[in-house]
Amino acid sequence: QVQLVQSGGGSVQAGGSLRLSCGASGRTFGGYAMGWFRQAPGKEREFVAAIDRRGGRTYYADSVKGRFTISRDNGKNTVYVQMNSLKPEDTGMYYCAAHRYYGDNYQRPNAGDFDSWGQGTQVTVSS
């Protein structure tokens, strides 16, 4: 497992932007696929985006496609999600997650694939 520490988040008006960061410990970050999930009050945790170990493949939830961009910098052991055109329904606690994947054919993951999770960071979008 890898230790994940998140930063970013906060409050923004609808239409605004935020960027979340997630730093990972260890020297094997390049062997991990990374993801972002979110959980709104009273709702289940849901998939937001994922990226393979090299950054060549990305996957997004339909609800954020075209507005969010996941990226990673393996030299900095960090994954990001840039969130633009934010909507009130994007409000929730956001979590980054990691799991080992050394292959080159990364498929859209499920939450159960991930075994390391960040501490969560709140994103609040007001109308």
Per-residue pLDDT of the chain (127 residues; tens, 9 = 90+): 899 999 999 999 999 999 999 999 977 899 999 999 999 989 999 999 999 999 999 999 999 999 999 999 999 999 999 999 999 999 999 999 999 998 888 999 999 999 999 999 999 999 9
How are beta strands 18-24 and 10-13 bridged, if at all?
Answer: unpaired
DSSP state of 15: T
65 touches 93 (CB < 8 A): no
Q: How far apart are CA 122 and CA 120, in angstroms?
A: 7
Angle at 62 between CA 59 and CA 65, to 5 degrees: 65
- Chain centre distance of CA 107: 16
Residue 27, pLDDT score: 74
Q: How far apart are CA 80 and CA 85, in angstroms?
A: 16
Residue 3, pLDDT score: 95
Residue 4, pLDDT score: 97
Cβ-based neighbour number of residue 115 at 10 Å:
12
Residue 26, pLDDT score: 77
Cα-based distances in Å from 65 to 3, 21, 48: 28, 19, 9
Residue 7, pLDDT score: 97
Residue 52, pLDDT score: 96
- Chain centre distance of CA 117: 10
70 touches 51 (CB < 8 A): yes
User: Which residues fall within 8 angstroms of residue 48, CB to CB, at 6 or more apart?
Assistant: 35, 36, 37, 38, 60, 61, 64, 68, 81, 94
